[in-house]
């Protein structure tokens, strides 16, 4: 098993002797140490995300430990910083003030090194626990965003991406295209071979789609056997070329299933925001759906693009509307 990277500890201490003593011992305990001599310097260093453990002296020039604690807590970094406040002030009121400022722990000088080591280990455990929780949270978000069968983005997310890309496209004046994909005769596949085979086919189609789009395109499962590809900064002509490529990638090799090698084809409908005066998610979805319908009527296993004249006429009408 690979050795874990040493956790970094920031020490904010203006006294040379104390700083040296802490640095030497904390390094011996397998931590990496960053020494700072003032609250301001510590604040600059703490902006690094990997600095998660901090030992702050209370009395320091310019910004003291308590002020620094408050600043760290107000900042709300994505990752928690565990803070041990060091001080010679041992009155109950001082301890309350120190902890209330946001410190997690409090040690009275002169520091007992064994005790400091145990307190640092406690801090490290809490940081590691937080990392585990954040990782789980990330995994849950990922799971909730994905379609469990195909691994594609789910409907809600792919529509959210489309909305975001449309907004960005409008800001930066570049087109966004969508391709609606439908697996041909999918009902027949399910009826003839069962839903398990149907599921395998959907997953395999999804894989081929992902492999044949650009790295920054997004592929989602729209529902049933319908999938959606979002293509940022892509004209209708380019979207049509990508759709042709995807169509061929699915049909050119039969798909291996437990029921044997099955021929699978898809039909695709393309639409692009550059043919709308006021592009919207609904408008693009409707246009790509109409194109898909047209391609199906023409015999499937093919692509069709949204009727440009139709949307252009719409745009002209809209422009006229704005004129009056």
Partner 1 sequence: MNYRDALERIGGDEPFLEELLNLYLDDFVAKSVRIQNAIDQQNFRQIEELGHGLKGASAILSLGPLEKASFELEMAGHERDIQKAREIPSLLKQEVERLKDFLAKRKETPLCEERIGE
Nearest residue to 55 (alpha-carbon basis) of 91, 92, 6, 15: 15
Among 8, 14, 265, 277, binds partner 1 (CB under 8 A): 14
Nearest residue to 69 (alpha-carbon basis) of 38, 33, 39: 39
| Residues 24-53 as x/- pattern, contact with partner 1 by CB under 8 A | xx----------------------------
Residues 124-145 as b/e (b if ≥16 CB within 10 A, e otherwise) read: bebbeeeeeeeeeeeeeeeeee
Rg (CA), the chain: 30
* Rounded CA separation 61/40 (Å): 9
What are the Cα distances from residue 58, in Å, to 13, 14, 36, 93, 106?
Answer: 9, 10, 13, 14, 10
Which span (66-74, 103-111, 175-183, 310-318) binds partner 1, by CB under 8 A?
103-111
Return the residues of window 186-205 that contact partner 1 according to CB under 8 A.
Answer: none
Among 37, 71, 73, 109, binds partner 1 (CB under 8 A): 109
* Rounded CA separation 274/271 (Å): 9
Our CB check for partner 1 shows the closer of 7 and 22 to be 22
Our CB check for partner 1 shows the closer of 110 and 260 to be 110
**Does 262 engage in binding with partner 1 (CB under 8 A)?**
no
Our CB check for partner 1 shows the closer of 18 and 207 to be 18
Q: Of 225, 238, 274, 282, which residue is the catalytic one?
A: 225
Specify the DSSP class assigned to residue 275: G
Among 6, 27, 61, 194, binds partner 1 (CB under 8 A): 61
Return the residues of window 110-129 that contact partner 1 according to CB under 8 A.
Answer: 110-113
Our CB check for partner 1 shows the closer of 111 and 308 to be 111
Is 225 assigned a catalytic role?
yes
* Rounded CA separation 276/281 (Å): 11
Task: Give the catalytic positions in this structure.
Answer: 225
Interface contacts to partner 1, rule CB under 8 A: 14-18, 20-21, 24-25, 59, 61, 88, 109-113
């Amino acid at each position: 098993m690979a050795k874990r990277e040493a956790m970094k500890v920031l020490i904010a201490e203006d006294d040379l002797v104390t700083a040296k003593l802490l640095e030497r011992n904390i390094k011996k305990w397998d931590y990496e140490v960053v020494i700072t001599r003032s609250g301001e310097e510590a604040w600059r260093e703490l902006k690094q995300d990997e600095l998660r453990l901090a030992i702050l002296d209370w009395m320091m020039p310019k910004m003291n430990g308590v002020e620094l604690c408050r600043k760290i807590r107000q900042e709300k970094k994505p990752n928690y910083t565990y803070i041990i406040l060091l001080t010679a002030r041992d009155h109950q009121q001082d301890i309350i003030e120190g902890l209330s400022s946001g410190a997690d722990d409090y040690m009275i000088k002169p520091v007992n090194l064994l005790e400091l080591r145990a307190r640092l280990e406690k801090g490290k455990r809490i940081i590691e626990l937080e990392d585990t929780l954040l990782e789980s949270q990330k995994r849950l978000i990922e799971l909730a965003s994905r379609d469990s069968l195909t691994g594609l983005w789910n409907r809600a997310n792919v529509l959210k991406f489309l909305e975001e890309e449309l907004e960005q496209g409008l800001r930066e004046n570049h087109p966004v295209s969508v391709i609606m994909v439908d697996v041909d005769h999918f009902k027949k596949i399910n009826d003839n071979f069962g839903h398990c085979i149907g599921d395998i086919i959907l997953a395999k189609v999804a894989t081929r789609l992902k492999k044949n789009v650009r790295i920054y395109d997004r592929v989602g499962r729209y529902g049933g056997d319908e999938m959606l590809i979002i293509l940022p900064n892509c004209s209708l002509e380019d979207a049509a070329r990508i759709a042709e490529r995807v169509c061929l990638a699915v049909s050119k090799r039969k798909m291996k299933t437990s029921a044997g090698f099955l021929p699978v084809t898809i039909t695709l409908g393309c639409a692009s925001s550059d043919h709308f005066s006021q592009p919207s998610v609904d408008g693009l979805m409707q246009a790509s759906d109409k194109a898909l319908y047209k391609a199906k009527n023409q015999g499937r296993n093919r692509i069709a693009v949204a009727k440009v004249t139709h949307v252009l006429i719409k745009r002209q009408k809209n422009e006229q509307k704005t004129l009056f």
